Structures are given as C-alpha cells and as structure tokens.
Amino acid sequence: MKKYLEIAKIVSVHGVRGEVNAQAWCDSPSVLCKLKKLYSKDGQTLYQVERARPKNEGMAILKLQGFDTPESSQTLRNKVLYADRADIKLPEGSYFIADIIGLEAVDEKGQSYGSITDVLSTGANDVYEVTKDGNKYYIPAIPSVVLKTDVEAGKMTIFPMEGLFDED
C-alpha cells in the first residue's frame, strides 16, 4: 500500500497573501483542510499548512508556509499534493480508493470476475469498474453486492447479481 496518497491539485493563486486554490481529490474539501502537512510525490517535499478553509464544492483555499506572495505561490500551480495515509483516519469499513483499485473481484466460490480498475462517485453510492479480458463491468458498492473487502489479500468478495456480468 502506498504511504502517500494523492489528495489535491493546486489550480491557481488566491489573493495577494500567497494563498492557493486547491481542487480536493478526497471526499470533501473539509478533509483536506484538516491536514497540517502535505507532501510532493513520494514525500520528497514537505509543505506545512498554515491555514486552510473550504471554498466551495470540491475546492479549498490553502496557505502553505514559505509561500507568502502571489509570485512564489504561482510556482505551485498544477502541483499535485499528497497526504501521508497515517494522517487520515477512516471510519471502519471505509477504504482509500488507491487501495481498492487493483483488487480482484471474486465471488464466494472464488470465481474471478476481473480486477477493479476505477471507482466512480455517483452521489448515492460509489460504483466499481471491473475489467476482465478488455471488457468493463460496473458493480454498485452496496452491502448486498460487496460482501467483503480484504485489501491485504488483494480480493473483494462480491455477489454477482443477475445481469451485472452479462456480455449483452
């Protein structure tokens, strides 16, 4: 499992004090705003968060230590920010998308339906894209379909409802 997870992308400078607009790649901007440390890829660079606040749906305004002018903050534009997974507490039964992608979808008998290649947020519930032999299938991430998730074993046990894996 990856230690550092993509959490946001800086899209522009905000104001004259070095703040930046960041597109949150997590459940909500409030999750991003709770973090005091952000990183570049693989933790190469640490960014201390001086302050953060949600802006609107999917966006947050961040003030990173050492970036005090619009000119210095402009160098951060298009930079992807990462969080250390240890800094984010997930509710029991929740998983990071990075940990879900790549799991093998199997039924209770062990028959493989392919690998999870994407997670789509639909509002009501997430939908997992399962790919096998170049074909894509979509399963709802609901308790009656997703029976067990075992990240350590690399498997997700599913109930393949009728019609989910039909070729037609």
State how far the alpha carbon of 121 is from the alpha carbons of 8, 97, 109, 124, in Å: 16, 11, 28, 8
pLDDT in the model for residue 2: 87
Domains 4-85 and 97-158 share a fold: no
pLDDT tens digit sequence for 109-150: 999 999 999 999 887 889 999 999 999 999 999 999 999 999
CATH of domain 97-158: 2.30.30.240
Average confidence (pLDDT) over 22-46? 92
Query: Domain map of the chain by residue range?
Result: 4-85, 97-158
CATH level 2 (architecture), domain 4-85: Beta Barrel (2.40)
State yes or no: pLDDT of 168 exceeds 60. no
Q: Which residues contact 140 (CB under 8 A, 6 or more apart)?
A: 125, 126, 127, 128
pLDDT digits (tens, 9 = 90+) for 45-60: 999 999 999 998 889 9
Q: What is the pTM of this model?
A: 0.80
Q: What CA–CA distance (Å, rounded) separates 158 from 168?
A: 21
How confident is residue 167, by pLDDT bands cut at 50, 70 and 90? low
3-state secondary structure of 38: strand
